[in-house]
Chains A and B, each alone.
Chain A
Amino acid sequence: MAYLESHRLVVLSRNWRCAEGELDIVATDTRRLIVVEVKARSSGSFGPPERAVTQRKIARIRAATQAWRREYRISHCPIRFDVVSVFWPPSGSPRLHHLRGAF
């Protein structure tokens, strides 16, 4: 959160749920809507966290975004989908990786 706000993004919703699925973070940089999927892993043995974002997950996030827009009555606006991966080994500090416009 603090990371996103430090990048001058305004967070609109967190963990917003609907029938289509869940949006981790919905934010805006005042020009467009930014939907962020957060993935965290504590070990690297399953590959980097962002690898866990599959085609199915992407489709779900897109559908949920439409629901979110209906809910808040926001018509056409540019949308960017981001992935923030957090690699947090049991000992040590977390590492963040922000993929802008991931899909």
Chain B
Amino acid sequence: MSLASSFSVALIGMDGFCVEIEAYVRTGVPGVRLLGLPDAALQEARDRMRAAVINSGEEWPERAITLALSPAAVRKTGASYDLALVCAMLAADGRVPREALGDTVLLGELALDGRLRAVHGVLPALLVARRAGLRHAIVPVETLAEASLVEGIRVRGALRLADVLGWLRGTSDELVAPSRRNVPPPADPPDLMDVVGQPEARWALEVAAAGGHHLMLIGSPGTGKTMLAQRLVGLLPALSSDEVMQVTAVHSVAGALSPDAPLVVAPPFVAPHHTTSVAALVGGGSGLAKPGAVSRAHLGVLLLDEAAEFGPQRLDTLRTALEEGEVRHARRDGIVRYPARFQLVLATNPCPCAPPKEVDCCCSPTTRRKYFGRLSGPLLDRVDLRVRMRPITAMSRNADGQPESTAVVRERVARARERAAKRWSEQGWRTNADVPGPALRRDFPLSREAVALLDRGLRAGAITGRGADRCLRVAWTLADLADRDRPDADDVAAALDFRDRRVA
């Protein structure tokens, strides 16, 4: 029989489906036909396969070859099918046994010299394959680290096509088994000790880290807004194994993993430049959308430095992502959803001239208002902590003792997070910021005087309904940091102070 089949995966965003690749080899004018809506890169697989087979010391079947990728009605893109195509073809020609192909998913692009190149999206592809019931996987060796996160499927890495063929024939076993040790530890993030002064901003940073709240830093240039924001990831706890998988999957689809950082083990820090496009920020692209900065910052920090320069259009695309924790893109080839549960940090100047001291500002009130008006009300409403930086008055570090280091603050943050996680563990929420407003109000009511403060704010129009919910969340975080069981009126007042509109 000159028929054989193998399996690969087509990804649609973070999800996908198994693709069965059938090969039919018959006598006829030699040539390869590819069926199943291949794109340009996949069409070129014919030439890559030929060169790779011959340069792996194999013989190319000089016969009429038909390769079909099913489901045939769905567009297939990219070069990740190369390995599955070539194995199906050689099996159909009787050059390798076909038995092992039945429950193995094959991923990888072929180089002309017969090496296997890394492809994007290996981790989500293996999740799809596992769901489809496949038990073995062969991936390019560079992607072995991310692939080994998937349990319940036996993964091996291949360096060359010849290794895979050797394994199929049972003649050699050059395939690489995954090992845990080849994950390099992440580089240490910058330390909080480097920041001079700014007690309020430091405190806000600690609260933000403890509760997962969004943060805005307003201040003159050179007061350390960016420095502080960059130090936020250092305060966050390491990702759990489940979170590592989620974040690595997004980065894998985005093609942001590299051989020296094959896994994302620490909360990611993403800081797009303010000239970024909407598509780069939230994701986009033709055909099927690719993940943007908000998804790469999933479970990490998204810093928008010089936030006012981003312009309202780009900033406002963040609003739904902030609320829902994911983004959905509808494009020609389907709707994709990417996770985007990030912590937003906005850093901005108070006005265009931004002198070191506020009193020296030479902007007209209209200019100031216009500058700040670029940060829309609905966006700011979602920012829980707004802090004005102090002007720096002395470079001396010893004015009030040595500044605290990241390690010290992280300790407190970890304790507060632990309290919160324990409290919400039944409902499965991670941080205070994740708790839905209704649940917070109904199931965890506060004292009468604490609620009275919020009511007064609502009546006076100082906060919105959502703002009140967000205040409650910050108040819980403040209580967690102070080791109290329940926020009191002071915590609510402090939370209200943090979102004071006048600061903005």
A binds B: yes
Q: Which residues of A contact B (CB under 8 A)?
A: 47-48, 50-51, 53, 58, 83, 99-103
How far does the alpha carbon of A100 sit from the alpha carbon of B28 in the complex, in Å? 7
Residues of A within 8 A of B62 (CB): 47-48, 50-51
Q: Which residues of A have CB within 8 Å of B30?
A: 47-48, 50-51
Across the interface, name the chain B residue whose C-beta is closest to A55.
B31
Query: How many B residues have CB within 8 A of the partner chain?
Result: 7
Residues of B within 8 A of A (CB): 27-31, 62, 64
B66 shortest CB reach to chain A, Å:
13
Closest chain B CB from A44 CB (angstroms): 11
Q: List 24 A-B contacts (CB under 8 A).
A: A47-B30, A47-B62, A48-B30, A48-B62, A50-B29, A50-B30, A50-B62, A51-B30, A51-B31, A51-B62, A53-B29, A58-B29, A83-B29, A99-B27, A99-B28, A99-B29, A100-B27, A101-B28, A102-B27, A102-B28, A102-B29, A102-B64, A103-B28, A103-B29
Q: Collect the chain B residues with CB atoms within 8 Å of residue A47's CB.
A: 30, 62
Question: Main SS of the interface on chain B?
Answer: loop
A102 to B29, CA, bound (A): 5
Bound-complex Cα distance A84 to B27 (A):
12
CB distance from A73 to the nearest CB of B (A): 29
Name A58's closest neighbour in chain B (CB-CB): B29
> Smallest CB-CB separation from B30: which chain A residue?
A51
CA distance A53 to B63 in the complex (A): 12
Contacts of A102 in B (CB 8 A): 27-29, 64
Chain A residues closer than 8 Å to B64, beta-carbon distance: 102
Q: How far does the alpha carbon of A53 sit from the alpha carbon of B29 in the complex, in Å?
A: 7
B26 CB to nearest chain A CB (Å): 9
In the complex the two chains form, what is the Cα distance from A58 to B28 in whole Å? 12
Give the CA-CA distance A103 to B64 in the complex, in Å: 10
A1 vs B116: C-alpha distance when bound (angstroms): 48
Alpha-carbon gap, A83 to B64, bound state (A): 13
The 7 closest A-B pairs by CB, nearest first: A102-B29, A53-B29, A48-B62, A51-B30, A102-B28, A103-B29, A50-B30
A85 to B105 CA separation, bound complex (whole angstroms): 39
Closest Cβ of chain B: how far from A65's Cβ, in Å?
Answer: 16
B432 to A: closest C-beta gap in Å: 66
- Give every chain A residue within 8 A of B27 (Cβ-Cβ): 99-100, 102
Closest CB of chain B to A68's CB: distance in Å? 20
| Distance of A102 Cα from B476 Cα, bound (Å) | 77
Shortest beta-carbon distance from B212 to chain A in Å: 60
